[in-house]
Copies of this chain bind each other. A is one copy, B any other.
């Protein structure tokens, strides 16, 4: 990228990650951890293959990404954020919070979606309101890639996959699940419309932001 030629920390950061697609590549690497080129392509619908290759090369040069070639027999190279690259996660999460308002109107007709994009919103907007209770697991199903949300000890964490049997599941379209996570709608609001809860619903109520929950716009 062409440099801004400004001796300012923000401008220098943008010299590295200000190009088109660059921050989304980093988002995908942050959400997936080490992964292959084709995994990134799947998580970045709309990117052209040469652009992805370009960005990965630039980010590697900048020390944000490492490309690791596995042992000779088989397998393909994997890409991963360096420690320096992981320092961008707070930036991405702040951007996520700021962009929330653009999600409430629902997706545009041709918007793409991936289930793992719910991971950070879940961790950001859900709260364990019953920290004394035993831990519980909720599964989110907005596309074919389920997200597992673990709740307990006052903490909420989420990851992709269905490796833990859930106490409750939440199936629905992305905007319905997001409206629930962010407190725009209640479970009863959209239960029959676009959202189907199964299992122990109290596990879901346990984490939903309440009307007085001040977390949303912090």
Contact = CB atoms under 8 A, between A and B. Distances in A.
B108 A5 contact: yes
Contact of A96 (B10, B110, B111, B114): B10
A78 interface: no
Interface stretch (A15-23, A163-171, A196-204): A15-23
B9 A24 contact: no
Interface residues of A, number: 48
A12 B99 contact: yes
A111 B98 CA distance: 30
B9 A96 contact: yes
Given A14-B95, A94-B91, A94-B94, A7 B101 contact: no
Contact of A7 (B92, B97, B113): B113
A46 B6 CA distance: 9
A154 interface: no
Interface string A1-45: 001111111111111101010011001000000000000000001
Interface stretch (A66-74, A82-90, A128-136, A186-194): A82-90
Contacts of A103: 7, 9, 12
Contact of A113 (B6, B101, B107): B6
Copies in the complex: 2
B24 A95 contact: no
Contact of A107 (B7, B96, B99): B7
Interface string A158-176: 0000000000000000110
A100 interface: yes
Contacts of A13: 95-96, 98-99, 102
A91 B98 contact: yes
19 contacts: A5-B111, A7-B108, A8-B27, A8-B114, A8-B117, A9-B97, A9-B100, A9-B121, A10-B23, A10-B92, A11-B99, A12-B99, A12-B102, A13-B96, A13-B98, A15-B102, A16-B102, A91-B95, A91-B98
A-B CB proximity, top 10 nearest:
A13-B99, A12-B102, A7-B107, A9-B99, A7-B111, A9-B96, A8-B117, A7-B113, A91-B94, A12-B99
